[in-house]
Amino acid sequence: MKRIISTMMLGALSSSLFGQSSPTGAATDAVIDEQQGAEEYDIPQPTADAPTVRRFHEVLEELLAEFGHDVKTGQIKDLKNLSIRKAMVSDTLPRSYGNYVELLVAERIRENSRIRLISCLPCKSKTSRIADKQILITSPHTNVGEMNRAAEQLGIDYFMDIILVYHTTHMVMAFQVFNTETKELTWARTYNSETIRSRFQKLAVDYSQVIKARASDEYVPEWRYLVGFGGASIPNVVSGARESSMLSLHLRGTEKFNNRRSEFGLLASLNISTSALLSEYPSTTPDGFTETDTTETVTEVTPTPFTTALGLFGIYSHNFLAKVENYDRIRWGVNTAIGLHLATGYIAPAARFGVDLFLGKKFVVSSSAFYVTNANILINNEFVKTDGGAGGDVILSYSF
């Protein structure tokens, strides 16, 4: 107790003698406290030669930024119905990072393009079977047959594989895209963090501050072209005429929207009467038969049935599809169209309604019923009213 009181008295005496505390002593105490804190928490002191340490996610973001820029500039714009088959990572990373990288890549593709991405669940499953008393485990990664079946069922045209290699000094991300039918490698690219500098950084632009263009802001139309051939029954200018039976060539072009459930476009049909294509069958004249010419006087103007006709329609279709179109099943849809039937000197409004059956990926069977209204045609400076009526056609088409 006496020692504490003596110390306090000496401190007060020194303060009264010098008027204030020594600044040199305070600075020394601060340096000592800082060094003790650094030793206590083991904080490394920076040196001039120490390398700049970047975080894992910063480097990964830079690689993805470069990939996103390549997608945005259209390097893989021609791909459609794309699916990420697998994403592999180094053994030094957790296996869950494969799914994480796959989601990041899918996000960049969706943000920078209109490419249709399909989730391939069968690609992530495995099947087992017993052969020669051995258990064989296969998956679409290792079995080409299973991969082809998965691609055909889900309508996948291209597969993408991703590899992420992580080292303590750098990181490499590689991509490859191949065609599911021909197995041809259509696109491949490698991004190395040691050599890469994002194009946005080259332009002195921070990629994180660039306004991300949503897919809806960059609309790219998707088209369907159908070329078909079949038979039709079309009302002619004279009811009951043989020329109503026709062969029909259909050309149909529509734009898909509403996630491919709706289509709108044009339909052109070229119809040729079967009587114009078929010549008279050869026959023999019996002995003693004499042809006689009979002449009839016709006072009423009668139109001649046309043998060729052209149909032009604006058509709307609605397809009953799931979120992912499965080519392994029969899909169907309905369509309605309004337009004109045209022939030489003949124009008649018409309306049609039909059903489309989609078989596989390329073939469509269409069955339609239509109605052609009455029309007036000019014959010898006189207007003659033609007969209208109902008709129909059945067309087998190939889809492009």
Verify that 100 and 146 share a domain, yes or no.
Answer: yes
Verify that 213 and 150 share a domain, yes or no.
Answer: yes
Number of domains in the chain: 2
Verify that 149 and 239 share a domain, yes or no.
Answer: no
Verify that 254 and 211 share a domain, yes or no.
Answer: no
Give the number of other Cβ atoms within 10 Å of residue 95's Cβ. 9
For residue 231, which of 241, 217, 242, 245 has the smallest C-alpha distance?
Answer: 245
Average pLDDT over residues 176-192: 92
pLDDT digits (tens, 9 = 90+) for 103-150: 999 999 998 888 899 998 888 887 777 777 777 777 777 778 888 888
- The average confidence (pLDDT) of the chain is 79
Which one has a higher pLDDT value, 46 or 365?
365
Domain boundary (168, 190, 217) is at 217
332 vs 320: CA distance, rounded Å: 6
Report yes or no on 34 lying in a domain.
no
> Strands 82-89 and 158-166, how do they pair?
parallel
Which structural domain range is residue 318 located in? Answer: 222-276+304-399
Report yes or no on 296 lying in a domain.
no
Verify that 231 and 92 share a domain, yes or no.
Answer: no
Residue 321, domain CATH: 2.40.160.20
Confidence class for position 37, pLDDT limits 50, 70, 90: very low
Verify that 118 and 254 share a domain, yes or no.
Answer: no
The lowest-confidence range among 52-61, 155-164, 220-229, 360-369 is 52-61
Residue type, 215: A
Verify that 213 and 235 share a domain, yes or no.
Answer: no
Confidence class for position 301, pLDDT limits 50, 70, 90: low
Calculated CA dihedral for residues 323, 324, 327, 332, nearest 10 degrees:
10
pTM score: 0.50
Three-state secondary-structure class, residue 126: coil
Backbone torsions φ then ψ of 240, nearest 5 degrees = 80, 10
Residue 86, domain CATH: 3.40.50.10610
- On the question of pLDDT at 331 being above 60, the answer is yes
pLDDT above 90 as % of the chain: 38
Confidence class for position 306, pLDDT limits 50, 70, 90: confident
pLDDT above 70 as % of the chain: 74
What pLDDT, on a 0 to 100 scale, did the predictor assign at position 308? 92
Give yes or no for a contact between 134 and 308, defined as CB atoms under 8 angstroms apart. no
Report yes or no on 352 lying in a domain.
yes
**Angle of helix 56-72 versus helix 96-112 axis, rounded to 10:** 40
Report yes or no on 36 lying in a domain.
no
Q: What contacts 385, CB < 8 A, 6 or more positions away?
A: 374, 375, 376
Give yes or no for a contact between 388 and 237, defined as CB atoms under 8 angstroms apart. no
Verify that 74 and 175 share a domain, yes or no.
Answer: yes
